[in-house]
Amino acid sequence: MTPEHQTPGTAAAAGGTAATVPGPRPIGSGAGGGRPGAEGSSPARGSSVRALGLGVRGARGWVFRDVGLDVPAGALVAVSGIAGTGRTALLLTLAGRMKATEGTVAVGGFTGLRALQRVAALGIVPGVTEPDPALTVREHVTEALALHEGVLGRFRGREARRREALERAGLDVDPRTPAEELAPDEAQLLGAALALVGDPGLLLLDDVDEGLPADRQRALWRRLADIAATGVTVIAACHDAAPAEGVATHALSL
């Protein structure tokens, strides 16, 4: 299959373990897609996502099974389901961090774990990628830029790129704010900002409605739609997709 896009992502927040995810453990840590400066990489704007008969089986049985998805570049997809339906595992599989037991997945025409990791980036996925509560918003973005560009790379103009990252995600807070003081929707947008530093074709976020009333859930979905409108494909998992109705372009219920 001819690749549509090839792009590195970026590490979002500090990588963690995947103990909260049933089934196989994720491959690698951190949120990003690929390593900085990976050969053959170039910026991209959105990747189509196609999955057929996708399933992951763990030690205690199927985490999810027979999932199909076919969305174009620039889509906003709401993946809903109660706890235990495999939402997080599906995101990790689409990102190339978890190996599918059956079925196929292609992102921007790419298949295979390493290729998926280069084109997809994780925002906030609890237990896998989460902000360091002690670091400020500014420090998080600085780390993401350093990871993508190299500690000494492109040092000139980095403050402008920090502002641009936050503006693209729509996070309007004082950059000196510690991550632990962010509201749940603000933390989600910080995760998105960090992932978007690497200009991925696919951005994945988990539990976007956690801890939010319905009106703020809907406001967050609108913000994610704005991010998708910049070209990147966004897939976000939630408990209830109702606040995303009329905002998300596609929906998948697990």
Give pLDDT tens digits for 116-151. Answer: 999 999 998 888 888 899 999 999 998 998 887 766
Residue 4 lies in a domain: no
Q: Are 243 and 217 in contact (CB under 8 A)?
A: yes
Q: How far is CA 18 from CA 29, 126, 162, in A?
A: 9, 8, 29
- Whether 212 maps to a domain, the answer reads yes
Buried b (16+ CB within 10 A) or exposed e, 83-109: eebbbbbbbbbbbbbbebbebebbbbb
How far is CA 248 from each of CA 43, 78, 225, 254, rounded to the nearest angstrom? 24, 6, 7, 16
Domain assignment of residue 2, yes or no? no
CATH number at residue 109: 3.40.50.300
Q: What percent of the chain has pLDDT over 70?
A: 80
Q: Is the pLDDT of residue 19 over 50?
A: no
Considering the chain, what percentage of its residues have pLDDT values greater than 90? 66
Q: Quick check: 194 and 136 in contact, CB under 8 A? A: no
In this structure, the chain runs to a length of: 254
Instruction: Give the range of the structural domain holding residue 161, as residue numbers without chain letter.
Output: 14-34+42-253
pTM, rounded to two decimals: 0.81
pLDDT of residue 1: 39
- Greatest pairwise CA separation for the chain in angstroms: 51
For residue 173, tell me if it sits in a domain: yes
Which of 175, 131, 162 is closest to 12 using CA atoms?
Answer: 131
SS3 content of the chain, % helix, strand, coil (to 5): 30, 20, 50
Residue 20 confidence class, pLDDT cut points 50, 70, 90: very low
In a domain, 103, yes or no: yes
| Structural domain includes residue 1 | no
197: in domain? yes
Q: Could you tell me which of 129, 74, 134, 143 has the C-alpha nearest to residue 97?
A: 129
Among the residue ranges 6-20, 34-48, 150-164, the one predicted with the least confidence is: 6-20
Closest CA to 140 of 83, 217, 193: 193
Instruction: Answer whether residue 244 is part of any domain.
Output: yes
Q: Provide the β-strand partners of residue 250.
A: 77
* pLDDT, position 162: 87
Mean pLDDT for the chain overall: 83
Residue 154 pLDDT grade (very low, low, confident, very high; cuts 50, 70, 90): low
For the record, the structure tokens of 26 come out as: 């994720």
Domain count for the chain, please give it: 1
Q: Which residue has the higher pLDDT, 81 or 158?
A: 81
How far is it, in rounded angstroms, from Cα 99 to Cα 94?
A: 9
- For residue 56, pLDDT over 60 is answered with yes
**Residue 72 pLDDT > 70:** yes
Instruction: Return the minimum-mean-pLDDT range out of 79-83, 101-105, 159-163, 235-239.
Output: 159-163
